[in-house]
């Protein structure tokens, strides 16, 4: 079972997809990536996997009724987009990654939301339905890429760093900082790997896999997503220059 740590020979599992609330689950495994049906048919052991959920950011400041700033929300959006792009980059060329998570699709998404400039972005991004809409679209595009490119069936494997969710919770998740390498193709030799624990992660105990006495259960999506989503689009090549690109 994957825990907090730096792991090798990891791949996307069949558990990757959207749950009943529309939240993106990124399934990870060191097995073959197949689910229970395949195991039952073949008579093999079911792969152990974990799921990292990509939750919709709350536009309100924690514990308050005031909004986060547009800049802070933009950074949260960009972090989520970077997670998704970095995972896809293990499997796909940069132009394909941008085609799924960028290009005309993103331009249409923003245009449909009435966002064609930085000023409009700043005024709209503080609205929770707008945030829900954007994250839903990006999540669906990721699932579209996984399914269209048959990434679960791919023989490609990667090295990945998983940190603990919080000081109280030892459940593994993606690193809080996306500026440092955290995922890379296994074709990169271990001695040349750029994935390592940062001083911040070590000092903060983010690399500690130990369970504390009262570990909480993995968080569930607390944000009600908008039902009027833009459906995934086929890949386009043009990139856009909007804040979330």
What is the pLDDT at residue 85? 95
What is the pLDDT at residue 215? 54
Q: Are strands 172-173 and 49-54 parallel, antiparallel or unpaired?
A: unpaired
List the domain boundaries for the chain. Answer: 5-204
| Contacts (Cβ under 8 Å, ≥6 apart) of 54 | 23, 24, 25, 26, 80, 83, 84, 135, 139
What is the pLDDT at residue 103? 78
Residue in the structure block whose two tokens are 């440092």: 180
What is the pLDDT at residue 233? 47
d(CA 17, CA 23): 8
Mean local confidence (pLDDT), 200-208: 95
Under DSSP, the state recorded for 233 is -
Please write the tens of the pLDDT for every residue from 112-160.
Answer: 999 999 999 999 999 999 999 999 999 999 999 999 999 999 999 999 9
Run of H or E including 88: helix 70-91
pTM for this prediction = 0.83
């Amino acid at each position: 079972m994957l825990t907090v740590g730096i792991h090798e020979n990891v791949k996307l599992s069949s558990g990757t997809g959207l749950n009943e609330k529309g939240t993106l689950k990124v399934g990870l495994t060191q097995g073959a990536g197949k689910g229970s049906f395949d195991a039952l048919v073949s008579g093999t052991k079911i792969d152990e996997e974990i799921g990292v959920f990509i939750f919709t950011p709350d536009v309100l400041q924690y514990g308050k009724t005031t909004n986060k700033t547009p800049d802070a929300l933009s950074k949260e959006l960009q972090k989520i987009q970077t997670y998704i792009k970095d995972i896809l980059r293990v499997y796909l060329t940069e132009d394909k990654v941008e085609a799924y998570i960028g290009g005309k699709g993103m331009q249409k998404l923003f245009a449909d939301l009435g966002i064609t400039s930085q000023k409009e972005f700043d005024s709209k991004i503080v609205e929770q339905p707008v945030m829900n809409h954007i994250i839903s679209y990006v999540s669906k595009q990721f699932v579209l890429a996984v399914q269209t490119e048959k990434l679960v069936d791919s023989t490609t494997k990667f090295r990945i760093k998983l940190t603990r969710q919080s000081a109280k919770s030892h459940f593994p998740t993606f690193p809080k900082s996306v500026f440092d390498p955290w995922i890379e193709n296994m074709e990169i030799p271990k001695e040349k790997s750029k994935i390592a624990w940062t001083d911040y992660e070590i000092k903060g105990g983010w690399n500690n896999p130990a369970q504390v006495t009262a570990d909480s259960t993995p968080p569930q999506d607390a944000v009600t997503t908008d039902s009027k989503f833009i459906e995934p689009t086929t890949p386009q090549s043009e990139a856009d220059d909007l804040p979330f690109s």
